[in-house]
Chain A
């Protein structure tokens, strides 16, 4: 069965430092996508970054990068030069795509606090 594990319930990081949010996943399907979403207190889930299971290079989007280690089933999010506005909940998520089963499942999330 598909599963996403985020082992860090909360993190405190000094502004301008880099931060790594951990995520491991479990699936038996060869084709899948991995995502990170940010959820501020307003509730909206904001898409940050995507990594396909067949992508050879790690995904990057501005200050966000995804450290994809396929053999270890790990998809950690790295935020460089953190900002106060990065304080939010962060969710790792996975999507298997096959006929009749095309849903995204989420981990329990990590609450990130950026300290001034």
Chain B
């Protein structure tokens, strides 16, 4: 039973470019959450998708957008990249209960 799969694992982009990160949730999970983790910090909540809609959002600018597909997979898009967007981006999936998320291994984005 595959867990959460994220692609790519590493990515280098130039300032001003756009990037798309992908996530396939764990089998049986219908909710996908995205987190940004800067070096040495805890993960910060970006947004959460459920039933193909953004259900809630953290304190991130509109440059960060996402999408969820009918098969529950999800994409995170970041436009007009800034140096400060360099971070590990974690995807987590869950089903509607009180227990924790299952995380992927993340995509490490470097903006130069």
Residues of A within 8 A of B (CB): 4, 31, 33, 35, 37, 42-47, 50, 52, 91, 93, 95, 97, 100-109
B62 to chain A, nearest CB (A): 19
Chain A contact residues, majority secondary structure? strand
Assembly CA distance A101 to B33 (angstroms)? 12
Q: Which of A4, A44, A107 has the most CB of B within 10 A?
A: A44
Given contacts A43-B105, A44-B104, A44-B106, contact A100 B98 (CB under 8 A): no
In the complex, which range does the number of interface residues on chain B fall in?
20 to 34
A47 B100 Cβ-Cβ under 8 A: yes
Residues of B within 8 A of A (CB): 31, 33, 35, 41-45, 48, 55-56, 58, 88, 90, 92, 96, 98-106, 108
A95 to chain B, nearest CB (A): 7
A45 B43 Cβ-Cβ under 8 A: yes
Residue from B48, B100, B105 within 8 A of A33 (CB atoms): B100
B100 A93 Cβ-Cβ under 8 A: yes
